Structure 1
């Protein structure tokens, strides 16, 4: 009786090329949406909505068709070891710090819109960067996966210039996103669960959109404090992962990527 051996997927055979294709397609989609929104003089949220809604639908269809939801980290929160819940505490601190800016007056319809908008962004960006890209690069190494996915995540924020954001804001946001990307990538390596990351990403962006800071257009202060917290957070996660007595949860399914 002959044994049939299935061929490895393209992402397993050429992980770097697969990641390049994913990133290029994402950048092209957002750039094209930004150009269209600029020509049509649409709202600053239009480029993300126009590009991310189709991307979200594609991701949902792909993960369902390939049955990869659990492999991307969409697992029950009960799967997280009780002792590892402590590592989410800095994310709560960051949300509290963001809230210190205060909130502006908004209508119910605006709140509902921003909830949809930030959930969309949280789902798409976490699924792409801490899901597909990070897990594809695990074929190289955990270090390559964490570093590369974080750099790509930060570089993508250059496209915020298309929404009219000034250069100084964009540079700070790139640094912010880079450190944030490293922290979240290390966290999913630690706990192998993407749901808390999506929830954090969603709440983080929602607070920022509803914050008075958006009206005052200030970029320093609390943002720098959060960057410092994130750097310390990354060090803490790295130390915990280097502990020989602690086995990264993502290693349990790394062969599935």
Structure 2
């Protein structure tokens, strides 16, 4: 059935948003699992599964967004579209980056830095476009809560794949909680400003710092991890409070407008 406003037939994601999201998530997981199996059999480097799965995904996403002209709709907009007064909501993300950088960096070579710049930019583009772009925007047709909660849970579930690489259950659980809170923060920022560029930049720098960090030093990172969880938790509460406040102000303004017209 065509919509009366546009005369166009609704897309599959508009007619079946939940099913569309499930298909997107299953395809992503299937691609990563298949690439992981190939990498295991051929005993490839630990970055190989992501490169093998995310590279074609990035190409498909670029072609899809270009042909369907959905770049802006997915959140790829000028940073100038973000209100100046909303810049403060990104400050906690800088605190997160500063905290994970405290562990220091490993001995680096130019080739290693260049490789991980490409690698982390690829991951940031694909994951943000999928979770805070396609999945978030699709579920936003249901409700803001559905979009934020579901996209965050799916983002966290995807990181369960690290448990298959020999990571301890405790570390995996901590990472799942961290990914859930981080996903919620990024989704709430997407809800507030509708701009995916800052999220991709943060995700890129966040992962780059982690990959270039000194993993060999024998230090207890639990205090840092707990601090990050607290920062992200408080950030979530702040963003939720701000969203509800703006909604209440908007509703009051609308009610006042109706009274004036009457």
| Closer/same/farther in 2, CA of residues 170 and 109 from structure 1, 3 Å limit | same
Equivalent-residue separation in structure 2 for 1:219 and 1:70 (angstroms): 39
Q: List 4+ stretches of structure 1 deviating above 6 A.
A: none
Equivalent-residue separation in structure 2 for 1:214 and 1:23 (angstroms): 34
Alpha-carbon RMSD across the aligned residues, in angstroms, is: 1.6
| Closer/same/farther in 2, CA of residues 103 and 246 from structure 1, 3 Å limit | farther
Equivalent-residue separation in structure 1 for 2:77 and 2:193 (angstroms): 10
Paired residues of 1:122 and 1:201 also in contact (CA < 8 A): yes
Aligned runs of 1:1-257 on 2, under 5 Å?
A: 5-213=7-215, 216=218, 220-243=222-245, 244-245=248-249
Equivalent-residue separation in structure 2 for 1:181 and 1:143 (angstroms): 13
Return the index of the structure with the highest Cα Rg: 2
Number of residue pairs the alignment of both structures matches? 245
SS at match of 1:74: coil
Equivalent-residue separation in structure 2 for 1:114 and 1:18 (angstroms): 32
Deviation per CA, 1:32-73, whole angstroms, max 9, x where unpaired? Answer: 000110111111111111000000000000000000000011
Equivalent-residue separation in structure 2 for 1:215 and 1:29 (angstroms): 33
Q: Tell me how far 1:172 sits from its aligned partner.
A: 1.2
Q: Tell me how far 1:163 sits from its aligned partner.
A: 3.5
Q: Tell me how far 1:162 sits from its aligned partner.
A: 3.6
Equivalent-residue separation in structure 2 for 1:239 and 1:91 (angstroms): 17
Equivalent-residue separation in structure 1 for 2:78 and 2:166 (angstroms): 39
- Unaligned regions of 5+ residues in structure 1, if any? 248-257
| Closer/same/farther in 2, CA of residues 128 and 91 from structure 1, 3 Å limit | same
- Unaligned regions of 5+ residues in structure 2, if any? 252-262
Q: Tell me how far 1:169 sits from its aligned partner.
A: 2.0
SS at match of 1:62: helix
Equivalent-residue separation in structure 1 for 2:95 and 2:177 (angstroms): 19
Q: Tell me how far 1:165 sits from its aligned partner.
A: 2.9
Equivalent-residue separation in structure 1 for 2:170 and 2:152 (angstroms): 20
Equivalent-residue separation in structure 2 for 1:26 and 1:175 (angstroms): 21
| Closer/same/farther in 2, CA of residues 13 and 214 from structure 1, 3 Å limit | farther
Equivalent-residue separation in structure 2 for 1:147 and 1:214 (angstroms): 35
TM-score of the two chains, using structure 2 as the length reference? 0.90
Deviates more, 1:212-221 or 1:160-169: 212-221
Equivalent-residue separation in structure 1 for 2:41 and 2:167 (angstroms): 16
Deviates more, 1:221-230 or 1:9-18: 221-230
Paired residues of 1:134 and 1:146 also in contact (CA < 8 A): yes
SS at match of 2:103: coil
Equivalent-residue separation in structure 1 for 2:249 and 2:240 (angstroms): 13
Alignment match, 2:260: none
